[in-house]
Structure 1
Amino acid sequence: MTPLLPPELYDRILDFLHDDHTALAACSLICQAWLPTARYHRFHTTSITWPSCSSFRGILTASPDLGRFITTLEICNAHPSSRGWQGDRDTFTFFEHLPVVQDLKLARLTVQEPLHDALTEHFRSVKRLTLCRCKYAADTQAFLASFPLLEELSIDHVRYAWPESDGAASPLPLRVLRILELAGDSRSMLEWLLSTSGSKLDTLEFRIREPEDALQLNLILNSIGCSIKYLEVSISAWWDLDFTLAGLSLEPCTALRSFVLHFMSLQMCVRGNQSLIWAISLLGQLYSFHLETITLDIMVDNMLDLRALDSECAVRALSPARFVDLRAFDWEGLELILTQPQFERLREFEMDGEGDAQLLDVSIRERCSELHARQILHYKPVQLRDSLDI
């Protein structure tokens, strides 16, 4: 007789797939006992597209109490150029039946005044707000200031207009800020966001693609870097990094406990790859005696990745650096950095890569005996995944 796992272990295993919708869908079909947990994660977020808006509005109008079960909501269009969600105020009156939404995501929308007014009026319980690939044609400042309980703000590819002078709206003290791309008067917006967030903001995620992005990050760190405990920076080396990162400094982050660096290089992981020097340089800027974990994830042009052959234009896709190729990384330079006094409390340096890490570990033990002896190196295998194309 085949032994059966206790149901709670199945549930625990499925919990690890919470953000993998394809795997959750497969689990739902494989075993009926897995269905409740898989459905919970698969449909955790209520997503409303413009074509389904009228039917969803009808359901809430007929049974308004259903809205009290919706705490995570995504309002979206199928494509950024779609003209959905452009109705008058009456179109969005069903929002009043959604009083307990705490996670709100707006994706691929052009937000005009009617939608803006409905959002600011009815979603007062929102704690986590995500704006993804949106064009905000209304008063962005008033919108961001309209959520009295807001703690987390994520901005990804958002175009907006900012008032020439700050109005009466005051920003809320955020705890988490994620900025992946801004297109607008970024300096004014950031200064406004940070004017009251400094005492509470402890988590920052930021992506650098262009020189302007590095200036934005520098502005944030110079303003409230001393309060940040968890910092995650993604760098895409599309530009000359000597120019892009020249003025960037991580030294203001004196309270940092965890640092994650995602580094994307257009070249292969070889000793001649000069862009990798910047990964070492940024790590050398860290100056926090509270630092406990560092994670480094390097994406490179892997010549063994043949996915470009499937592309009509042979577009190269970046892949996780193979552990065997990471022997070309400047481990001696990293050893000099991590043996400095401010890294005494560091308990883990995680290196993400593809394949078997045995040869890399042997190489580090031979070249950097002091670093290897600290037993803080952790090699995390990652699978080949879709990434940004060059």
Structure 2
Amino acid sequence: MAPFIPAPVFPPEITDSIIHELGAELPALRICSQVCRAWLPASRHILHQTLKLRGEDILGFMDIIASPENTYFATLRGLELSLCDNGPATVLLELLPKFVCLKSIGIYSSVFHYELPTLSSVTSLEFKRTEFRSFAAFIILLGQTPNLKSLKLTKVLWGPLPGWGPPATEDILPSKSIPRLELDVLHIEDRAFLDWFTSEVPAPLTSVLELFIREDNHQVPWGQASNIVDTKLLDKVSQYLQYLGVHLEQFYLRFSGSTQIQTLDVSTNTALRSLRINLSNAIPARNWTQYFSTTLPSLLERLRSDDIEELAVDINMILNDKNMNDKNIDLKRLSSILTSPRFARLRRLQFNGQWDGYAPRGRKSARKIFTDTVIDRLAIPSSCSIFLADPLKNEKHGSRVHHKLTR
């Protein structure tokens, strides 16, 4: 009889590393999770990173977690719910404290009329295209996540919503003081942040602020300039920036409208390290010369931080020889600011745009036009590098391919 030769056993560190390389290959991960007990933890760690459920999926998921073989309570780290306007969502939300590793919750495209239990493990909340009964109900909900560090609000509305009747007791903020949120990241799209300044609720502190505001064009009479509306919005933004003061370290502002951004007050943010400006459709093509010559320098001159390490500017236009006229653009003022002692720590100057698009035969590419018109004529600190980045390409391919420009 031939001697018994045991099958080779790989150290778990090796198999775990191989399984980790599978990444988002969910079918392969499911197979690995069923091979043996040793392969199960690493496979499940990825499979249970984030669970996405629609409203009609909740009942089926409730059956799964009711099974004795359920492992979601011990491993699930992220939960995303969409279209959860039905009854089963109430039962699922009541069970959330059982998910002991749960760190992030996302609610999308829903009318959120539920109450959350206290969730001490949750550090990240995201609401997108979601309607709440009231601003008070939203604030009370935030109070159920005492360790919240990241809050993202995109097109969030609060009532009273049609058909909901008069305000309920939970629609009124409690008389006791509500603790101020101290976040690492706050991302707000549209005007949701304004309600923090029209109520007695203290606005959140944050070290990273991503603020996207879209102008309400329907409020502007036809044929009239919208600078008044823009100024009021930017006054509120300036008020919030003053409130944040030295807490703010990274600021990303995207404003869609004919804005007067030179009125933005960033003088109190003396610990700012990273600044990104995106005016979206705010600047007509013919005004980009003025933007680089006057508007952007005016904003940078008001910075009082000596710690700026990264500056990013989004270019939201198709560049051509007509809208980037090298005879008119004046970069002396911008160059003088970037080479001043205040920007001595600048390490990265990045311009985001569509640089490698189609160029008609005999015409310069957008990359070439911008390089000739701005990059080659712009003075920067010797320690700084200039990058051209294509955010759309980054999102499509899941990578950050930057083009570093050398002098």
CA 335–275 in structure 1, closer or farther in 2 if over 3 Å, else same: closer
Q: Which has the larger radius of gyration?
A: 2
Whether 2:385 is the aligned partner of 1:380: answer no
**Conservation of the 8 A alpha-carbon contact between 1:265 and 1:298:** no
**Conservation of the 8 A alpha-carbon contact between 1:145 and 1:171:** no
**Conservation of the 8 A alpha-carbon contact between 1:230 and 1:259:** yes
Residue 212 of structure 2, aligned match among 207, 215, 230: 207
Task: Write the mapping of 1:106-255 to structure 2, written as runs, cut at 5 A.
Answer: 106-112=107-113, 115-116=114-115, 119-121=116-118, 123-137=119-133, 139-160=137-158, 163=172, 167-183=176-192, 186-188=195-197, 192-194=201-203, 198=205, 201-210=206-215, 211=230, 213-236=233-256, 238=257, 240-242=258-260, 245=261, 247-255=263-271
Deviation at 1:137, TM superposition (A): 1.1
Deviation at 1:290, TM superposition (A): 0.9
Deviation at 1:260, TM superposition (A): 1.4
Instruction: Give the aligned residue type for 2:299.
Output: L
Structure 1: stretches of 5+ with no match in the other structure: 1-5, 16-23, 78-82, 303-320
Instruction: Give the aligned residue type for 1:350.
Output: Q
What CA distance in whole angstroms lies between the structure 2 residues aligned with 1:28 and 1:58?
Answer: 22
CA RMSD between the two structures: 4.1
What CA distance in whole angstroms lies between the structure 2 residues aligned with 1:337 and 1:251?
Answer: 15
Whether 2:108 is the aligned partner of 1:99: answer no
What CA distance in whole angstroms lies between the structure 2 residues aligned with 1:351 and 1:9?
Answer: 37
Task: Write the mapping of 1:248-263 to structure 2, written as runs, cut at 5 A.
Answer: 248-263=264-279
**Conservation of the 8 A alpha-carbon contact between 2:112 and 2:133:** yes
Give % identity: 18
Deviation at 1:9, TM superposition (A): 11
TM-score, length-scaled by structure 2: 0.67
Deviation at 1:340, TM superposition (A): 2.4
What CA distance in whole angstroms lies between the structure 2 residues aligned with 1:66 and 1:14?
Answer: 21
Residue 70 of structure 1, aligned match among 60, 65, 76: 76
What CA distance in whole angstroms lies between the structure 2 residues aligned with 1:98 and 1:274?
Answer: 54
Deviation at 1:248, TM superposition (A): 2.1
CA 132–256 in structure 1, closer or farther in 2 if over 3 Å, else same: same
Deviation at 1:241, TM superposition (A): 1.6
What CA distance in whole angstroms lies between the structure 1 residues aligned with 2:321 and 2:347?
Answer: 21
TM-score, length-scaled by structure 1: 0.70
CA 386–213 in structure 1, closer or farther in 2 if over 3 Å, else same: farther
Deviation at 1:367, TM superposition (A): 3.6
Deviation at 1:13, TM superposition (A): 9.1
1:288 is matched with 305
**Conservation of the 8 A alpha-carbon contact between 1:221 and 1:252:** yes
What CA distance in whole angstroms lies between the structure 2 residues aligned with 1:372 and 1:140?
Answer: 45
Q: How big is each residue's C-alpha offset from its partner over 1:27-59, in whole Å with a ceiling of 9 and x where there is no partner?
A: 989xx99xx999987974211110000000111
Secondary structure at 1:202 match in 2: strand
CA 280–265 in structure 1, closer or farther in 2 if over 3 Å, else same: farther
**Conservation of the 8 A alpha-carbon contact between 2:155 and 2:189:** yes
What CA distance in whole angstroms lies between the structure 2 residues aligned with 1:14 and 1:325?
Answer: 46
Whether 2:57 is the aligned partner of 1:52: answer yes
**Conservation of the 8 A alpha-carbon contact between 1:28 and 1:39:** no
Structure 2: stretches of 5+ with no match in the other structure: 1-13, 33-38, 160-170, 216-229, 357-364, 396-407
What CA distance in whole angstroms lies between the structure 1 residues aligned with 2:193 and 2:186?
Answer: 17
Secondary structure at 2:242 match in 1: helix
Task: Write the mapping of 1:357-372 to structure 2, written as runs, cut at 5 A.
Answer: 357-358=367-368, 360-364=370-374, 367-368=377-378, 371=379
Deviation at 1:297, TM superposition (A): 1.2
CA 284–126 in structure 1, closer or farther in 2 if over 3 Å, else same: same
Deviation at 1:188, TM superposition (A): 3.7
Secondary structure at 1:107 match in 2: strand
Query: Greater shift after overlay, 252-261 or 268-277?
Result: 268-277
CA 89–265 in structure 1, closer or farther in 2 if over 3 Å, else same: closer
Residue 66 of structure 2, aligned match among 47, 61, 66: 61
Secondary structure at 1:255 match in 2: coil
CA 227–73 in structure 1, closer or farther in 2 if over 3 Å, else same: same
1:310 is matched with none
Instruction: Give the aligned residue type for 1:173.
Output: E
Deviation at 1:90, TM superposition (A): 4.4
